[in-house]
């Protein structure tokens, strides 16, 4: 059943298409402004100057977007959670921990779990950073706006997954873990 195993249950690109378009749109506005300002006597330097002046900033901006996308992309299939360059087998993720997180994140997910979720002891409402574990993906830290979902692995380790859609990630993990438990 390789097709079912490679089915993507949750995917998130860290950088949207709109974010990729912003630096190029700003460069185009700068070039147009320079051309309009120099309208009676437009030369090649009118176009080359703003491009050359903005290119170092543009290159740094694009490399930053690429890096955020490289290390922050999350893909969950039935057998693997891939975050950036890290891979975690779904079988290594502690299902009770995910069920507890899902219960706290969304009452609809709690209903999906049934009455057994009410017997769990929930930890404190705040997680200390030292208890979060290693940030998956290869980045040094989470980007602004990302939420960290801390997962407990079966061999007493914790890892953190950056996401902007906690409920979607937890619902995908529940689906993957339910499939792993059934299989």
Mean pLDDT, range 25-44, rounded to an integer: 86
| 2 belongs to a structural domain | no
Last residue of a domain, one of 47, 71, 95: 71
In tens, the pLDDT along 59-73 reads 999 999 999 888 889
Range of the domain at 34: 13-71
Strands (DSSP E) contained in 61-176 are 74-77, 80-83, 86-89, 134-135, 147-153, 157-163
For range 89-113, the mean pLDDT: 78
Q: Do the domain assignments include residue 7?
A: no
Overall domain count for the chain: 2
Please provide the average confidence, as pLDDT, over all residues in the chain: 81
Q: Is residue 120 part of a domain?
A: yes
Final residue of a structural domain among 55, 71, 87: 71
Query: Are residue 22 and residue 39 in the same domain, yes or no?
Result: yes
Q: Are residues 103 and 163 in the same domain?
A: yes
Q: pLDDT digits over 72-85, tens only?
A: 899 999 999 999 98
């Amino acid at each position: 059943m390789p097709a079912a195993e490679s089915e993507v249950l949750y995917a998130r690109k860290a950088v949207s298409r709109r974010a990729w378009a912003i630096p190029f749109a700003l460069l185009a506005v700068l070039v147009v402004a320079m051309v309009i300002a120099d309208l009676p006597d437009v030369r090649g330097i009118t176009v080359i100057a703003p491009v050359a002046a903005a290119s170092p900033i543009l290159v740094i901006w694009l490399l930053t977007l690429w890096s955020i996308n490289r290390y922050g992309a999350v893909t969950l299939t039935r057998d693997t959670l891939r975050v950036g360059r890290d891979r975690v087998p779904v079988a290594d993720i502690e299902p009770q921990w995910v069920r507890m997180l899902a219960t706290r994140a969304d009452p609809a997910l709690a209903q999906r779990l049934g009455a057994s979720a009410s017997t769990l002891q929930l930890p404190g409402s705040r997680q200390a950073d030292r208890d979060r574990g290693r940030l998956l993906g290869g980045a040094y830290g989470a980007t602004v706006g990302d939420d960290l979902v801390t997962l407990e692995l079966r061999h007493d380790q914790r890892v953190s997954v950056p996401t902007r859609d906690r409920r979607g990630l937890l619902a995908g993990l529940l689906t993957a873990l339910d499939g792993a438990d059934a299989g």
